[in-house]
Amino acid sequence: MTTWSISEAAEKCGLSQHTLRWYERIGLLGPVARDANGRRRFSDSDLSWLTLITKLRETGMPVRDMQRYAELVRSGSGEAERLELLRRHREEVRRALAAQRECLKLLNSKIDTYSRRVRETRAQALGQEGQKCAPLS
């Protein structure tokens, strides 16, 4: 079985070594296997789990909820509670996406307004420059 050092695991997951140690300390990541020298060795399973919790975190799931989810998964039970936790979070993600879409609409509107004004200002400036010069006969 292939395993990775903490630096390799951090690079593969896009997390810092400090974050990996913290995740293990607070129970988001189960105890990581150690080599003969006591250094952490991350398995494929550990990396898959880290990918999942990283995505949950990126979607704004509170660490407390992530800890509860991890606890339920490790216990092998509580599927109904896991399902409810994930459904609740999905609704939060949907609300956040809707809010982001509204923000994007506002930004697009402002960009359109300023783009139009800049074009008009440039066109006026070019028109005024043409008026300053007497036509060649």
Confidence of residue 132 (pLDDT cuts 50, 70, 90): low
Distance, CA of 21 to CA of 23 (rounded, Å): 5
Q: 14-23, 36-45, 52-61, 128-137: which range is least confident on average?
A: 128-137
Angle between helices 63-75 and 44-58 (to 10 degrees): 150
Q: Do 11 and 18 form a contact (C-beta atoms < 8 A)?
A: no
Bridge partners, residue 42, by sequence? 4
Q: What is the pTM of this model?
A: 0.77
Locate tokens 């990775």: which residue? 4
Does 133 score more than 80 pLDDT? no
Q: Which amino acid appears at position 24 of this protein? A: E
Q: What is the pLDDT of residues 51-107, one digit of tens each?
A: 999 999 999 999 999 999 999 999 998 999 999 999 999 999 999 999 999 999 999
